[in-house]
């Protein structure tokens, strides 16, 4: 720690901020009297003699029949918050059933073990099983007949359980609890899908006469109750009073030094992350390194394995960990981390979720994980209860990273981010309504989301998939609708990537909209740490043929985006400008691409493309600058246009930060309605939900317009570059030299108050 | 995205907005359109509505004993050997009175399974004194499903066993789901189930590429269907009927279902007769006879099995099957202690099949070594086998035979010497 403090004191120090947390004592409550004696002694055998405050509170609420959402940090004993009430119910009623949902299969495996450690005390009547794509078919039959607790994932529930609910009749008749762990993972499209899967689940449970209670657990987000309520459509009681102890902890923001002031180029964050990790590893400190993609994970693993000190003849104490590794291999790595056999692990977000690897001395984040919640979640992996631990965020040169290190108070002090879902996205909803009709006829008086079910079903009847009879709509199609809907993204139409050099092997797939920008001809596609050159893009076949290459650049597609506003839901002034919220049509066409060198990010070439046009309806928040105001600024026409583009890029960065979403979830486009070249500019800047129908990001963006403007102004004011850089308005090559100045002026006009306001509470 | 959905969502949105406005002024949104009048499908005289239980359509027909179905006469069903159902079902069915069997086949709204697939037509067939009576339970719309299922369950209670073709995988689980969805008791829970698909496959899969009911009835019963509708088009026919109310397109579907049930009964009868009296089985093809021979031998009747093997060989078999038949029947002959017959079969095998020759030689060598004590012949056969397919086992056998020959020669020589001395 002292090293960092000393470093920070130096001029031009890469240490941008240091925050420390003091150690916290545990706060306990005695075991509730209702807890079964067998469970109590099983817990005692694990060294649990009392409950933390949040565990006791959860137990009390759940036992009283309230839906509970638990929000406490990593490794605070969240699992017991739901396992204890569920097991206590099973102790009294051995026929009762519970469904646990986890976002990944690995988590379900992990939690099964934990459940059985205590559940074993109730004898062979309590049967918990995972049920997912890997479950063999004879085991599936046994699980449907006998399991009390089924640990699964939303995808399996959607495509494997609900459409066959009659086989699960016993389970649904006795269903008492639905546990949704890692609730924060269900935001955006995935969360919107889950909410609809739960609508279907509740219908089916209702058919079998049960009304299960919901227990959700979430990492720290601003609106856990709101998210739980949006996803389940039930009222919730929040439990957030964390009683778990924690040791002293330090959080360091590290910004690699600038090597080219003019272009705003910094030293490679990957190399810097490697150096920071070695600081810890070489001193024998157990360290977890998080990278944001597979490529960086592999590079860091390679560096650290080769160079970390180790006793002669011993295997390297560092390993990699990511989704592509085999399950057994991953279990082994988790075990070795817990036992201390491994000193270091480099991981993607695969280790971010609640997999039990014990607590470590240090966490190094190679690049900002994209959201405050993920950052806390990952850094929470460091946290010895009795010793000092440390987390270091090494910022990359991406605008979001630079914003965060430049605004440590945003990360540490401001209210945490909000997670948004839009279960009523019409495209998502109507697809799940099809599944619902397949599962049980939809009665006229039923509700499924906020839209009148009659209108939707009549629409489906016209398409020919349902038929009205006896006061209900019945499924009349030969298809199995759940197969056509993937919960992880909105469109089920994927492009497969075929390695033409390797016997036409399929190496992966890319969702529809992303395929246009990542798989166009001559694109460099990165997969599993390797680079591939796209030889052929077959739109009709939904295939891209690639060949492995060795090159020092990647490609960035140039897209023309046209926006047309269709309907306005809301309108408010902001300074001289007007802000709007409504529905838009986005027409996109990839017209070319740039070749960009790794590390330095310099533009080393480009190409033209003719790709098919794509159209999408979505929601957007937009800003309109009236022509007279722009004229009053007295910039040249081109300068103004560049400034508007630059401001759009800045707004997108701060919107991603503020709305807690992946920057790719938000699109930005500008439009000017002028017709002739001599007409005055009358432009609009659109921030749109980058999914058909929208997933609920533009409405909060509209609501927080003041905050977005203030943060945009602040980002522009604090960016150290001279006239624009990729961390603020965009690369200097793309925009003219006045872009930053004009963007600043525009942003300032939107903010009469120079101080950025706090994020308004929702 | 144009591709991502078959729907015009923008149009839907406009409609929702419009209906919201209407909703504020006019009647409730969920209100359905007026039910259209339902025409009763099929010949009206055959339709009967069962009173008091809600409507559905029941179509009955008697196939008289004198009627032919391909080469099969319906009257043959009167003498189904019921006891053969035990071996035919691998011992899973033990209810041997064919008059208490109900033959069943469904026509459904899809093949994908899951709760969204309904059986809109359930056909049954039962053996009556005068012939074979089929009953088609048909729902004219989804609101008749409950009454149709209730009537079906009541009908099924007259029987103790259901006979299907692939019903274990498809029809019965599907109907069980329908009963569950209508909250009605499951009539199959108390019944035995003979699925004729598995025994049929066992008997005919050597000869027929696909063992679908249609393929079997044509190949086994000599039925050629006329005016039929292919199974895969049936869901669409029903959906068209639901939309248009015109039942004309359904008539071939009823016909199809009835044919399926009659064929199922005839095929079951044929199968059970084959197992009951294998020697009288009217099988002409060597492949079918070979399948039956194996089955009968597996059931423990080796003499009967052997006789069928011989028939199969006489009837003519493709080269590989012939080799199999010779090999397997040689084994059976040996087990029955008829070594001469075994040797003959092995010699035949060695003659006709280059691939199986070494194995035949090895078995012949064993015979000569252990039973004939003719070590020289055994050695010659073993060496032939080694030349074609050497193996440690054979080399071991060769050494042993050499030792035995030496020992035998030693005895002979020493005897000679002793004689000489004497």
User: Per residue of chain B (422 residues), what is the pLDDT tens digit?
Assistant: 333 344 566 677 777 766 666 554 433 333 334 444 454 444 433 344 444 456 899 999 999 999 999 999 999 999 999 999 999 999 999 999 999 999 999 999 998 888 999 999 999 999 999 999 999 999 999 999 999 999 999 999 999 999 999 999 999 999 999 999 999 999 999 999 999 999 999 999 999 988 999 999 999 999 988 878 888 899 999 999 998 888 889 999 999 999 999 999 999 999 999 999 999 999 989 999 999 999 999 999 999 999 999 999 999 999 999 999 999 999 999 999 999 999 999 999 999 988 899 999 999 999 999 988 899 999 999 999 999 888 898 899 999 999 988 888 776 555 444 433 33
Mean pLDDT of chain A: 85
Q: How confident is the model at residue A261 (pLDDT cuts 50, 70, 90)?
A: low
The tokens describing A310, both together, are 């180790």
Does position A759 have pLDDT exceeding 50, yes or no? no
- Written as six digits, the tokens of A186 are 């269900």
Digit-coded pLDDT (tens) for A234-248: 999 999 999 988 888
Whose tokens are 């989301």? That residue is A449
Residue of chain B minimizing CA distance to A540: B3
User: Which residues of chain A are within 8 Å of residue B28 when distances are taken between CB atoms?
Assistant: 454
Test A438 with B7 for CB contact under 8 angstroms: no
The confidence score (pLDDT) of residue B51 equals 40
User: So what's the pLDDT on residue A6?
Assistant: 66
- Three-state DSSP class for residue B119: strand
Residue B29: which of A454, A464, A693 has the nearest Cβ? A454
ipTM: 0.82
pLDDT for residue A266 is more than 60: yes
Q: Which residue has the higher pLDDT, A297 or B67?
A: B67
**Chain B residue with minimum CA distance to A459:** B12
Yes or no, beta carbons of A474 and B142 under 8 Å apart: yes
The DSSP letter of residue A134 is T
Taking CB atoms and an 8 Å cutoff, what residues of chain A touch B242? 467, 469, 476
Name the interface residues of B facing A (CB cutoff 8 Å).
1-7, 9-10, 12-13, 15-16, 19-20, 23, 28-33, 35, 109-116, 118, 141-143, 176-177, 180-181, 235-236, 238-239, 242-243
Q: Which of A451, A459, A512 sits opposite B1 (nearest CB)?
A: A512
Which of A433, A437, A449, A477 should be substituted to probe chain B, the one whose Cβ sees the most B Cβ atoms within 10 Å?
A477
| Structure-token pair, residue B88 | 């035919």
DSSP per-residue letters across B373-404: --HHHHHHHHHHHHHHS--HHHHHHHHHHHHH
Interface contact A475-B109, CB threshold 8 A: yes
Report the percentage of chain A scoring pLDDT > 70. 89
Query: Which strands form A344-347's sheet, in the order they lie side by side?
Result: A15-21, A249-254, A389-394, A362-366, A287-291, A344-347, A318-321
More confident of the two residues A166 and A412: A166
Q: What is the pLDDT of residue A354?
A: 66
* pLDDT score recorded for residue A91: 95
Among B6, B109, B110, beta carbon nearest to A463: B6
Residue pointed to by tokens 């119910």: A89
Q: Which residues in A lie closer than 8 A to residue B4 (C-beta atoms)? A: 427, 490-493, 512, 692
Rounded to whole angstroms, how far apart are CA atoms B147 and A723? 78
Q: Each residue of A188-208: pLDDT tens digit?
A: 778 889 999 999 999 999 999
Give the helix ranges, DSSP H, for A256-398: 269-281, 294-307, 327-339, 372-379
What backbone torsions phi and psi does residue A339 show, to the nearest 5 degrees?
A: -80, -10
- By C-alpha distance, the chain A residue nearest B178 is A166
Chains A and B form CB pairs within 8 A to the count of: 136
pLDDT value, residue B36: 47
Closest CA to A448 of A434, A461, A468, A459: A434
Q: How far is CA B116 from CA A140, B107, B142, in A?
A: 20, 14, 12
Phi, psi of B309, rounded to the nearest 5 degrees: -60, -45
Least confident of A63-72, A355-364, A691-700, B412-421: B412-421
Q: Which of A169, A475, A539, A569 to mutate to test the interface with B (most CBs of B within 10 A)?
A: A475
**Per-range mean pLDDT, top range of A274-288, A404-418, A556-570, B5-19:** A274-288
- 8 Å CB contact between B147 and B54: yes
CA distance B166 to A518: 47
The total number of residues shown for chain B amounts to: 422
Q: Could you please report the per-residue DSSP string of A189-239?
A: HHHHHHHHHHHHHHHHHHHTT---EEEEEE-S-S-HHHHHHHHH-S--EEE
SS3 state at A175: strand
Q: Give the Cα separation of A543 and A300 in Å (integer).
A: 32
**How far is the alpha carbon of B150 from chain A, nearest alpha carbon, in Å?**
17
Average pLDDT over residues A326-349: 84
Closest to B111 (Cβ–Cβ): which among A445, A478, A481? A478
Q: Which of B353, B370, B358 has the alpha carbon at shortest distance from B394?
A: B358
What are A428's two structure tokens?
A: 């998502």
Q: Residue A134 CA to chain centroid, in angstroms?
A: 24
pLDDT of residue A106: 77
Beta bridge partners of A180: A101, A216
For residue A400 the two structure tokens come to 């979001």
Indicate if the pLDDT at residue A485 is higher than 90. Answer: no
- How close B299 gets to chain A, by Cα (Å)? 28
pLDDT given at position A753: 61
Residue A740 has pLDDT above 70, yes or no: yes
The alpha-carbon gap from A155 to the nearest alpha carbon of chain B, in Å, equals 16
pLDDT, tens only, A584-638: 888 888 899 988 776 566 788 888 988 888 888 888 999 999 988 988 988 988 8
Element (H, E) at A753: none
pLDDT of residue B188: 97
Q: How close does chain A come to B56, measured CA to CA in Å?
A: 13
Nearest CA in chain B to A436: B116
Question: What is residue A411's predicted lDDT score, i.e. its pLDDT?
Answer: 75
pLDDT, position A226: 92
CB contacts of A169 in chain B (<8 Å) are: 180
Percent of chain A, pLDDT > 90? Answer: 38
Chain A residues in contact with B15 by the CB 8 A cut-off are: 455, 459
Query: Considering only CA atoms, which of A237, A238, A176, A231 is closest in space to residue A209?
Result: A176
Residue A499's DSSP bridge partners are A505, A546
Q: Sign of the C-alpha dihedral, residues A51, A56, A59, A60? A: positive
Site of tokens 């919960």 = A487
**Residue B165 and residue A565: Cα distance in Å, rounded?**
59
- Contact call for residues A466 and A455 (beta carbons, < 8 A): no
Q: How high is the pLDDT of residue B45? A: 36
Chain A partners of B113 at a C-beta cutoff of 8 Å? Answer: 164, 480
Can you say whether the dihedral through the CA atoms of A318, A321, A325, A329 is positive or negative?
A: positive
């Amino acid at each position: 720690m002292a090293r960092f403090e000393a470093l920070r004191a130096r001029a031009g120090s890469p240490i941008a901020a240091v925050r420390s947390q003091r150690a916290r004592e545990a706060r306990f409550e005695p075991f509730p009297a209702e807890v079964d004696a067998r469970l109590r002694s099983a817990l005692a055998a694990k060294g649990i003699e009392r409950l933390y405050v949040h565990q006791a509170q959860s137990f009390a609420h759940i036992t009283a029949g309230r839906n509970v959402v638990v929000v406490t940090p990593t490794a605070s004993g969240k699992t017991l918050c739901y396992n204890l009430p569920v097991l206590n119910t099973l102790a009294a009623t051995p026929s009762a059933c519970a469904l646990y949902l986890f976002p990944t299969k690995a988590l379900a495996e992990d939690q099964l073990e934990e459940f059985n450690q205590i559940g074993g005390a109730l004898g062979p009547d309590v049967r918990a099983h995972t049920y997912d794509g890997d479950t063999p078919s004879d085991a599936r039959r046994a699980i449907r007949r006998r399991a009390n607790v089924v640990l699964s994932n939303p995808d399996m529930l959607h495509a494997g359980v609900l459409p066959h609910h009659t086989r699960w009749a016993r389970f649904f008749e006795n269903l008492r609890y639905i546990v949704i762990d890692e609730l924060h993972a269900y935001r955006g499209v995935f969360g919107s899908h889950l909410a609809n899967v739960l609508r279907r689940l509740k219908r089916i449970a209702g058919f079998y006469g049960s009304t299960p209670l919901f227990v959700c657990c979430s990492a720290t987000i601003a609106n856990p109750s709101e998210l739980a309520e949006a996803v389940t459509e039930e009222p919730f009681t929040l439990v957030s009073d964390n009683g778990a102890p924690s040791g002293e902890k330090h959080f360091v923001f590290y910004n690699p030094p600038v090597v080219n002031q003019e272009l705003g180029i910094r030293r490679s964050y990957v190399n810097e992350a490697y150096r920071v990790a070695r600081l810890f590893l070489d001193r024998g400190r157990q360290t977890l390194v998080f990278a944001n993609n597979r490529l960086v994970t592999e590079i860091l693993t390679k560096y650290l394995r080769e160079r970390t000190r180790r006793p002669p003849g011993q295997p390297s104490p560092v390993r990699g960990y990511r989704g592509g590794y085999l399950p057994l291999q991953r279990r082994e790595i988790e075990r070795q981390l817990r036992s201390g056999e491994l000193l270091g692990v480099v991981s993607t977000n695969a280790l971010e979720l609640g997999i039990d690897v014990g607590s470590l001395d240090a966490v190094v984040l190679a690049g900002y994980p994209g959201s405050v919640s993920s950052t806390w979640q990952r850094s929470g992996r460091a946290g010895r209860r009795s010793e000092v631990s440390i987390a270091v965020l090494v910022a990359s040169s991406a605008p979001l990273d630079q914003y965060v290190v430049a605004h440590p108070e945003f990360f540490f002090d401001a209210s945490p981010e909000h997670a948004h879902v839009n279960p009523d996205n019409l495209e998502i909803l109507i697809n799940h309504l099809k599944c619902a009709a397949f599962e049980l006829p939809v009665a006229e008086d039923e509700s499924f989301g906020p839209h009148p079910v009659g209108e939707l079903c009549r629409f489906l009847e016209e398409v020919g998939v349902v038929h009205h009879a006896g006061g209900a709509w019945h499924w009349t199609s030969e298809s199995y609708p759940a197969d056509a809907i993937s919960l992880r993204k909105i469109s089920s139409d994927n492009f497969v990537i075929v390695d033409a050099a390797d016997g036409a092997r399929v190496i992966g797939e890319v969702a529809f909209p992303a395929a246009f920008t990542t798989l166009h001809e001559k694109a460099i596609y990165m997969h599993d740490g390797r680079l591939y050159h796209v030889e052929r893009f077959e739109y009709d076949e939904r295939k891209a043929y690639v060949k492995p290459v060795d090159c020092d650049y990647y490609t960035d597609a140039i897209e023309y985006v046209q926006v047309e506003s269709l309907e306005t839901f809301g309108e408010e002034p902001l300074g001289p400008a007007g802000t709007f919220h409504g529905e838009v049509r986005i027409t996109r066409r990839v017209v070319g691409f740039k070749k960009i060198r790794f590390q330095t990010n310099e533009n080393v070439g480009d190409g033209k493309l003719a790709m098919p046009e794509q159209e999408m309806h979505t929601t957007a928040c937009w800003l309109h600058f009236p022509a007279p105001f722009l004229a009053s600024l007295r910039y040249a026409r081109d300068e103004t246009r560049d400034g508007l583009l630059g401001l759009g890029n800045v707004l997108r960065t701060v919107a991603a930060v503020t709305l807690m979403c992946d920057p790719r979830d938000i699109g930005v486009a500008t439009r000017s309605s002028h017709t002739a070249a001599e007409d005055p500019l009358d432009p609009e800047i659109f921030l749109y939900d980058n999914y058909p129908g929208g997933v609920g990001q533009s409405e909060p963006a509209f609501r927080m317009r003041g905050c977005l403007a203030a943060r945009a102004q602040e980002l522009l004011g604090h960016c150290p570059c001279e006239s624009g850089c990729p961390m603020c308005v965009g690369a200097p090559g793309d925009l003219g030299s006045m872009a930053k100045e004009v963007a600043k002026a525009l942003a300032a006009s939107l903010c009469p108050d120079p101080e950025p306001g706090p994020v308004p509470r929702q | 995205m144009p591709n991502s959905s078959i729907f015009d969502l923008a149009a839907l949105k406009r409609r929702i907005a419009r209906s919201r406005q209407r909703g504020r002024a006019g009647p409730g949104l969920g209100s359905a359109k007026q039910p259209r009048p339902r025409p009763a499908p099929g010949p009206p005289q055959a339709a009967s509505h069962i009173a008091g239980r809600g409507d559905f359509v029941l179509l009955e027909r008697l196939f008289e004993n004198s009627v032919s179905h391909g080469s099969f006469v319906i009257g043959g069903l009167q003498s189904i050997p019921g006891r053969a159902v035990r071996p035919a079902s691998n011992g899973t069915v033990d209810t041997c009175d064919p008059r208490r069997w109900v033959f069943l086949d469904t026509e459904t709204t899809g093949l994908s399974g899951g709760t969204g697939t309904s059986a809109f037509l359930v056909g049954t067939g039962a053996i009556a004194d005068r012939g074979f009576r089929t009953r088609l339970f048909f729902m004219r719309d989804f609101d008749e499903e409950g009454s149709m299922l209730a009537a079906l369950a009541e009908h099924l209670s007259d029987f103790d066993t259901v006979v299907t073709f692939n019903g274990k995988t498809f029809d019965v689980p599907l109907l069980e789901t329908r009963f569950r969805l209508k909250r009605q008791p499951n009539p199959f829970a108390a019944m035995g189930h003979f699925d004729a698909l598995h025994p049929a496959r066992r008997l005919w899969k050597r000869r027929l590429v696909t063992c679908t009911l249609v393929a079997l009835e044509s190949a086994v019963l000599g039925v050629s269907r006329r005016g039929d509708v292919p199974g895969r088009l049936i869901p669409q026919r029903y959906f068209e009927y639901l939309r248009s109310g015109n039942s004309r397109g359904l008539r071939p579907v009823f016909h199809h279902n009835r044919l399926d049930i009659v064929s199922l009964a005839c095929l079951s009868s044929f199968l059970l007769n084959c197992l009951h009296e294998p020697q009288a089985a009217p099988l002409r093809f060597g492949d079918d006879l070979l399948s039956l021979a194996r089955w009968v031998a597996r059931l423990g009747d080796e003499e009967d099995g052997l006789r069928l093997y011989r028939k199969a060989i006489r009837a003519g078999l493709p080269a590989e099957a012939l080799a199999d038949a010779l090999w397997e029947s040689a084994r059976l002959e040996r087990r029955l202690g008829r070594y001469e017959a075994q040797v003959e079969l092995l010699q035949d095998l060695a003659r006709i099949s280059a691939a199986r020759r070494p194995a035949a030689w090895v078995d012949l060598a064993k015979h000569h070594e252990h039973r004939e004590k003719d070590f020289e012949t055994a050695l010659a056969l073993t060496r032939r086998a080694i030349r074609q397919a050497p193996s440690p086992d054979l080399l071991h056998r060769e050494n042993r035979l050499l030792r035995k020959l030496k020992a035998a020669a030693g005895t002979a020589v020493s005897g000679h010497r002793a004689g000489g001395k004497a």
